[in-house]
Amino acid sequence: MSTQAAPASPPKPVLVPGYVRSLVFQGLRSLLDVRVELASRLTVLVGANGSGKSSVLDGVHHLSRLLTTLDGQHLNLRARALEHFVGESRLDQLVTRGVLHPDLLLAALTVDGGLWLTASARDEDDHFALSVAAREATQGPPPWSAMGVVEVGSPMSLRDLQSTPQAVGLARCTRLRLNARRVRKPSYSEDEEPTVAEDGSHLATALAWLGNNHREARDAIEADLARVVPGVRSIKVPRTKIYRTEEEALRIDDELVTRHRKRELVADTVEVEFAEAGFLPIAQLSEGTVLALALLTVLHSPSCPNLVLLDDIEQALHPDAQYELLEIIRKVLDEKPNLQVIATTHSPYLLDSLDPAEVQVLALDEHGHTHVKRFDEHPRAAKLMQSLHLSEMWSGLGEDWVLDR
């Protein structure tokens, strides 16, 4: 294994408009009352399974989705919230269990101010309010003094809110749950600018579009994939035929009859060239290669979101590949000043390339509620880092210290 580089120098304060500097959660699953201070545009969450890492990402994503109008519609908050908070995302499924009259609060504080959602499911009807605060009004515990509130009948529409400095970072957010099976599938799209979906679908079509319209991005993806996966030479996107089953409504003797028919389509697929093996179809590539390619395509796309949320950033990658991927993410962050990445990991190898201020440690108390502290908040962090790698500190200290008052 190659020698890992020293961790990055301590992150400097970020002043980019829309940068999310802290997150506040109240009443979201195990996040009964949690505040996460983000010291860098790259943040990695660590902790035991079930400690609330994914809930942090989910909370940010829920808030972001409320800022996203569908098909250009100028929806009011209640209409948009009722569209979003359904199924597994119903309020009664999200709120902390075992708490009397649980309410939900999701908030993001940016360098420009604050944005927070309050939701209540105490009676038959769910109630929502989305508020905006100036920077000077976001000090102390929430809720903060509001500049504007989006509610039923409010003159401020969701579309208006999207353009405010407080919302600009959150309004363009993706919650990546990359699935290798989905990534491998041939794809086609009628979109003017195809992009990789949150599960990794449409990778091939996104790569084809980049190759025709943004060759520099496609070249960067190839070069960075070769850093993560030794032996990679190039990527190509050939065309292939696929078949899709469609429903067709027919009228026979004044009756509507539904029939299924197969439609032949021309789609895109991916092949990767290796130094020794030549071009291999994406179906034959390893899970780590496939997932890394999807993530790199998201990051290098001209339409890359401002905020990327990612579970298990190290998924299926060799330790050396994890290090290379992290270095690539740092490079992309330098190239895209509006980009911010929040990820989770269970990999100790990854931590050795991070500064303690970039690592958030999560732990559950005896009631099953999440507590969060940055690694640099450990009272002996500075001294221990003089002789230990961050992975060794994590292995030795664990997460229980987070619960110390």
Query: What three-state secondary structure class fits 351?
Result: helix
Q: What is the pLDDT of residues 310-345, one digit of tens each?
A: 999 999 999 999 999 999 999 999 999 999 999 999
| pLDDT one-digit tens code per residue, 340-371 | 999 999 999 999 999 999 999 999 999 999 99
Q: What is the DSSP string of 214-238?
A: -HHHHHHHHHHHHHHSTTEEEEE--
What is the structure's pLDDT at 155? 47
| pLDDT category of residue 396 using cuts at 50, 70 and 90 | very high
CA distance 11 to 44: 13
Sequence-distant (≥ 6) Cβ neighbours of residue 222 within 8 angstroms:
232, 234, 235
Distance CA 135, CA 166 (A): 9
> CB under 8 Å to 246, separation ≥6 — which residues?
260, 261, 262, 263
Q: Would the CA dihedral through 308, 10, 313, 402 be positive or negative?
A: negative
SS3 288: helix
Nearest in space to 75 (alpha carbons), one of 168, 18, 160, 163: 160
In this prediction, residue 239 carries a pLDDT of: 96
Determine what percent of the chain is predicted with pLDDT higher than 90: 65
At 127 the pLDDT is: 82
pLDDT over 70 percentage in the chain: 88
pLDDT value at residue 232: 98
Look at residue 194 and tell me whether its pLDDT is greater than 50.
yes
Structure-model confidence comparison of residues 194 and 164, the more confident one = 194
Residue with tokens 């330790």: 319
Distance of alpha carbon 328 from alpha carbon 353, whole angstroms = 12
Q: Where are the domains of the chain?
A: 1-7+15-172+308-313+337-405, 174-304
pLDDT at 21 over 50: yes
The pLDDT value recorded for residue 197 is 97
- Mean pLDDT (the chain) is 88
| Lowest-confidence pick of 78-87, 170-179, 183-192, 386-395 | 78-87
Distance of alpha carbon 101 from alpha carbon 90, whole angstroms: 16
Q: Tens digits of per-residue pLDDT, 119-176?
A: 887 767 788 888 877 776 676 666 665 565 655 445 456 777 777 777 877 889 999 9
Strand order, beta sheet including 20-28: 31-37, 20-28, 103-110, 113-120, 127-134, 148-150
If DSSP codes are grouped into helix, strand and coil, which group holds residue 388? Answer: coil
**CA 202 to CA 53: how far, in whole Å?**
27
pLDDT(71) > 70:
no
**Contact status, residue 17 vs residue 111, Cβ threshold 8 Å:** yes
d(CA 317, CA 228): 9
pLDDT tens by residue, 201-219: 999 999 999 999 999 999 9
Cross-strand partners of 310 = 176, 343
Long-range CB pairs of 100-107 (<8 Å, 24+ gap) are: 102/27, 103/26, 103/27, 104/26, 104/27, 104/28, 105/24, 105/25, 105/26, 105/27, 105/142, 105/143, 106/24, 106/25, 106/28, 106/59, 106/60, 106/62, 106/63, 107/23, 107/24, 107/25, 107/63, 107/142
Tokens of 186: 């041939």
pLDDT digits (tens, 9 = 90+) for 227-261: 999 999 999 999 999 888 777 777 777 788 787 78
Mean pLDDT within 283-306:
98
Per-residue pLDDT at 90 exceeds 80: yes
Statement: residue 1 has pLDDT above 50: no
Give bridge partners of residue 20 from the DSSP assignment.
110
Query: Pick from 247, 336, 306, 333: which is nearest to 64 by CA?
Result: 306
pLDDT at 85 over 70: yes
Instruction: List, in order, residues 6 or more apart from 393 with CB less than 8 Å away.
Output: 356, 375, 378, 381, 384, 385
Mean pLDDT of 62-83: 76
Tokens of 161: 């809110």
> 1-7+15-172+308-313+337-405 in CATH: which number?
3.40.50
Q: Give the per-residue pLDDT at 255.
A: 80
